[in-house]
């Protein structure tokens, strides 16, 4: 009797019923009114799964059975093997202790990430004793696509139960597919794949059916392309069939647009030598013990690095790629927000918490979704918006803010995560999920992509403080932006340092702002705590745009932005260290000077500067005082100079005694152009 028949008979004996021909039963371990016990069979073993979380031990006990009853007995295994293959295979049981010890010493037993000694069985077939790996299928950590579970015999004394000639077998790390693989190994046969995984290679595939067989490659081409390998290393056995197969596999991968290396194993492995021999030691192939492994993953990588990398066109990938600029067609930079956010490029928005960075991104999203003008009045662009927001809830934060900003919510989409192979929603990771982001951009017609904050989406394998890691993540993101023509806005928090250049104040590596073509800063207005300022930190593609002031206002249990026009503050002044007491005193003196000097009306900028110098006030201090008072300027005619004035609310009343500025000597005026340039 098979184990499955035994379990079904026991379920019927205790009064359990099934609703779908024996796949789902009422669980005997709890009061089960609706069948919730899944009963399946795989490789001679019954799998019990109660969806009310009853343990397998409890279920077996209620059935009056033992755990060993979940497995086929020897007779059932022999019958099953005979029916599958037509060959009489006698199951002798697990390997002996001596066999296990010998296999471990020769590295023929795979480590925990694949198969273990306990999963091997001793079998007798055609009068000889063999060791068999029971199965390779989706249920195992080692994964075979289209696995059918049919056995196959080999010349060596090892039986592998695999999917036959059309299966694609892949290493555990590739099971989910859709990765960005740096180096993929394409090897000959599952035994070589086992050895590679055991030696530490994470990304390995093989197409069953022989050295030259690429049937599985063709059948699963889309899946393989989804791995997006930067390069593929092709390895075949040291024989004529292997060399022919290597050339065919190399050509197949290059036809898919992938650069390749054909890796030839050391000749001292002899005729028919393969990866298993190289990694496990030649004696292991003959059933003897290897004293030391001949190679490992590092050795294989070193061999591969010495082989020429060939691009899809058949040229050495290290050859210089020259572009004659006479053949290049100039293209005008496209802007989502002229001077601030270019399309097809990366931009960065930096700022401390509570300055409204996310609100700024949603204000811009609202404008794009409706085609409204930008905050400075520049024409807007109508299109879709894609939001990657790790900190704000779509229901209670993002949507209310979009509504307050007047957005067309039907044009705005959020990307909360991606589905893995188990249909679980996992966080988006950059650069691993850039293909998902690109498909989302295409599906939504997005012209603006917001990543808020960037550090929440950077892959755990990439350090935000290592320039090389950051550039490896952002370089393909920049290419994505270029392909889709979407403006990508990355949001960062500021670091905790004070002072210094604004370019160095964003969190993480300098490589982040280095990869961006535009950098923005949101900060508090030093002169008015109720106001904020958006300034340009970096502008590679246009003249630096003026800073804009804004205010955060309540709006129906949410918040919205009110743009207040240009601000005189620059990124440097917004991030300047607090003024020391003595410097603050000097600014106060300069403020008093300006109040008196401008009390009765406008004064020429050059005269005011000369007067300030005479009073011992530096130009830098007078500029700070001007910003603090809100001093305005106006032009007096086509050839006239600039005139400075106090705001109306600050002008002195009658009785003020401003200084007489007309007494300065004429020779003091000769530097007026230079002074005026610095002052303005």
Question: Structure tokens of 634?
Answer: 């106006």
- The whole-number pLDDT of residue 152 equals 37
Find the range with the poorest average confidence among 188-197, 433-442, 549-558: 188-197
d(CA 602, CA 625): 16
- The torsion region of residue 675 among left (phi > 0), alpha (psi -120 to 50) and beta comes to alpha
Q: Which CATH architecture has domain 335-574?
A: 3-Layer(aba) Sandwich (3.40)
- The residue that leads in pLDDT, 208 or 312, is 312
Q: What is the pLDDT of residue 27?
A: 92
Neighbours of 57 (CB within 10 A): 11
- The closest alpha carbon to 235, from 186, 300, 271, 163, belongs to 186
Q: What is residue 164's predicted lDDT score, i.e. its pLDDT?
A: 40
pLDDT score at 149: 35
588 phi and psi angles, rounded to 5 deg: -60, -40
Q: Give me the pLDDT at residue 200, please.
A: 74
Average the pLDDT over 590-597 and give the result. 84
Return mean pLDDT, the chain.
77
From the list 183, 180, 178, 203, the residue with the least C-alpha distance to 193 is 203
- Tell me, what DSSP letter sits at residue 266? P
Question: Rounded CA gap, 169 and 14, in Å?
Answer: 42
Residues 241-275: tens digit of each pLDDT: 889 999 999 999 999 999 999 998 887 777 888 88
State the span(s) of the chain assigned CATH 1.10.10. Answer: 581-679
Average pLDDT of span 95-111: 52
Of the given ranges (73-77, 305-309, 366-370, 521-525), which has the lowest mean pLDDT?
A: 73-77
Which of 100-109, 532-541, 631-640 is least confident?
100-109
137 pLDDT more than 70: no
Report how far residue 666's alpha carbon sits from residue 397's, in angstroms, rounded to the nearest whole number.
63
Structure tokens at 446: 């997005």
Please enumerate in sequence order all residues whose Cβ is within 8 A of that of 38, keeping only pairs 6 or more positions apart, or say none: 23, 24, 47, 48, 49, 50, 51
pLDDT in tens, 596-617: 888 878 888 888 888 787 677 8
Residue 405: is its pLDDT beyond 90?
Answer: yes
In the chain, the N- to C-terminal Cα span, in Å, equals 96
Residue count of the chain: 680
pLDDT tens digits along 441-453: 999 999 999 999 9
Least confident of 298-302, 400-404, 468-472, 583-587: 583-587
Q: Percentage of residues in the chain with pLDDT exceeding 70?
A: 73
Q: Are strands 37-42 and 24-25 parallel, antiparallel or unpaired?
A: antiparallel
Q: Tell which phi-psi region holds residue 545, choosing left (phi > 0), alpha (psi between -120 and 50) or beta.
A: beta
Burial of 593 (0-12, 13-18, 19+ CB in 10 A): buried
Judge whether 107 and 280 are in contact, CB under 8 Å.
yes
Reported as a single tens digit per residue, the pLDDT across 317-374 is: 665 667 788 888 898 999 999 999 999 999 999 999 989 999 999 999 999 999 999 9
In the predicted structure, residue 550 carries a pLDDT above the cut 80: yes
Q: Which helix (H) or strand (E) holds 168?
A: strand 168-170
Whether pLDDT at 99 is above 80: no
Res 130: pLDDT: 54
What pLDDT is stored for residue 1 in this prediction? 63
Residues of the chain with CATH 3.40.1360.10: 75-305
pLDDT recorded at residue 545: 94
627 in the Ramachandran plot: left (φ > 0), alpha (ψ -120 to 50) or beta?
alpha
pLDDT over 90 percentage in the chain: 31
For residue 676, name the pLDDT band (cuts at 50, 70, 90).
very low
Per-residue confidence band for 465, with pLDDT thresholds at 50, 70 and 90? confident
**Residue 84: its pLDDT value, please?**
38
Phi-psi region of 497 (alpha: psi -120 to 50; beta: other; left: phi over 0): beta
CATH topology of domain 581-679: Arc Repressor Mutant, subunit A (1.10.10)
Is the pLDDT at 379 greater than 90? The verdict is yes
Q: E strands within 294-443?
A: 335-337, 341-342, 346-351, 384-389, 412-414, 418-419, 425-426
Domain with CATH 3.40.50.300 in the chain: 335-574
Q: How many CA atoms lie within 13 A of 270 on its CB side?
A: 6
Confidence of residue 20 (pLDDT cuts 50, 70, 90): confident
Pairing of strands 183-187, 168-170: unpaired
**Backbone phi and psi for residue 59, each to the nearest 5 degrees, phi listed first:** -65, -45
CA 452 to chain centre: 13
Do residues 413 and 436 lie in contact, with contact meaning Cβ atoms separated by under 8 Å?
no
pLDDT reading at 490 higher than 90: yes
Structure tokens at 146: 């289209």
Q: Quickly name the fold that domain 75-305 has.
A: Dna Topoisomerase Vi A Subunit; Chain: A, domain 2 (3.40.1360)
For residue 520, what pLDDT is reported?
A: 96
Q: What is the pLDDT of residues 152-198, one digit of tens each?
A: 333 333 334 443 445 677 776 776 666 788 899 999 887 788 778 77
C-alpha of 622 from chain center:
48
């Amino acid at each position: 009797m098979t184990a499955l028949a035994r379990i079904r008979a026991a379920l019927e004996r205790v009064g359990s019923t099934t609703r779908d021909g024996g796949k789902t039963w009422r669980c005997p371990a709890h009061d089960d009114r609706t069948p919730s016990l899944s009963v399946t069979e795989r490789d001679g073993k019954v799998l019990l799964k109660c969806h009310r979380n009853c343990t397998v031990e409890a279920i077996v006990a209620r059935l009056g059975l033992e755990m060993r009853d979940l497995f086929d007995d020897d007779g059932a295994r022999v019958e099953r093997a005979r029916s599958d293959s037509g060959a009489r295979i006698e199951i002798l049981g697990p390997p002996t202790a001596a066999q296990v010890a010998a296999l471990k010493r020769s590295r023929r037993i795979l480590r925990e990430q694949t198969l273990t000694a306990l999963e091997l069985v001793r079998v007798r077939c055609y009068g000889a004793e063999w060791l068999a790996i029971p199965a390779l299928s989706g249920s195992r950590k080692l994964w075979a696509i289209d696995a059918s579970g049919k056995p196959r015999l080999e010349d060596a004394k090892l039986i592998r139960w695999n999917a036959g000639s059309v299966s694609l077998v892949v290493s555990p790390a590739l099971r989910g597919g859709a990765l960005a693989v740096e180096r993929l190994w394409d090897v000959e046969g599952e035994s070589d794949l086992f050895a590679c995984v055991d030696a530490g290679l994470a990304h390995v595939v093989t197409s069953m059916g022989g050295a030259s067989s690429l049937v599985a490659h063709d059948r699963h081409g889309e899946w393989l392309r989804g791995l997006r390998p930067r390069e593929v290393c092709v390895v075949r056995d040291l024989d004529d069939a292997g060399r022919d197969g290597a050339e065919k596999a190399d050509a197949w991968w290059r036809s898919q647009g992938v650069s390749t290396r054909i890796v030839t194993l050391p000749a001292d492995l002899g005729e028919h030598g393969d990866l298993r021999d190289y990694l496990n030691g030649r004696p292991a192939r003959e059933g003897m013990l290897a004293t030391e492994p001949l190679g490992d993953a590092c050795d294989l990588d070193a061999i591969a690095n010495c082989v020429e990398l060939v691009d899809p066109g058949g040229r050495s990938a290290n050859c210089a790629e020259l572009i004659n600029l006479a053949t290049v067609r100039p293209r005008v930079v496209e802007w989502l927000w002229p001077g601030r956010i270019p399309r097809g490029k990366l931009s960065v928005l930096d700022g401390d918490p509570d300055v409204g960075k996310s609100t700024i991104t949603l204000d811009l999203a609202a404008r794009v979704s409706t085609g409204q003008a930008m905050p400075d009045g520049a024409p807007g662009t109508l299109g879709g918006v894609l939001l990657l927001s790790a900190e704000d809830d779509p229901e209670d934060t993002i949507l209310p803010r979009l509504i307050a900003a007047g957005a067309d919510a039907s044009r705005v989409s959020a990307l909360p995560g991606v589905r893995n192979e188990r249909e679980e929603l996992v966080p988006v990771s950059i650069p691993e999920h850039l293909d998902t982001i690109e498909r989302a951009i295409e599906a939504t017609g997005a012209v603006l992509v917001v990543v808020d904050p960037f550090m929440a989406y950077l892959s755990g394998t990439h350090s935000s403080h290592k320039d090389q890691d950051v550039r490896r993540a952002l370089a393909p993101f920049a290419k994505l932006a270029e392909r889709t023509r979407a403006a990508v806005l990355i949001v960062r928090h500021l670091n905790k340092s004070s002072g210094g250049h604004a370019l160095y104040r964003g969190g993480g590596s300098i490589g982040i702002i280095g990869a961006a073509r535009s950098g923005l800063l949101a900060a508090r207005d030093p002169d008015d705590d109720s106001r904020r300022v958006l300034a340009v930190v970096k502008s590679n593609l246009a003249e630096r745009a003026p800073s804009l002031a804004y205010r955060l206002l309540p709006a129906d249990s949410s918040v919205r932005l009110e743009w207040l026009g240009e601000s005189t503050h620059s990124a440097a002044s917004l991030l300047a260290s607090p003024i020391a007491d003595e410097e603050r005193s000097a600014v106060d003196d300069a403020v008093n000077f300006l109040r008196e000097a401008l009390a009765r009306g406008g004064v020429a900028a050059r005269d005011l500067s000369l007067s300030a110098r005479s009073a011992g006030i530096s130009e830098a201090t007078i500029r700070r005082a001007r910003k603090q008072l809100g001093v305005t300027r106006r032009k007096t005619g086509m050839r006239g100079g600039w005139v400075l004035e106090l705001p109306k609310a600050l002008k002195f009343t009658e009785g003020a005694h401003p200084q007489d500025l007309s007494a300065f000597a004429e020779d003091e005026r000769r530097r007026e152009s230079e002074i005026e340039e610095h002052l303005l």
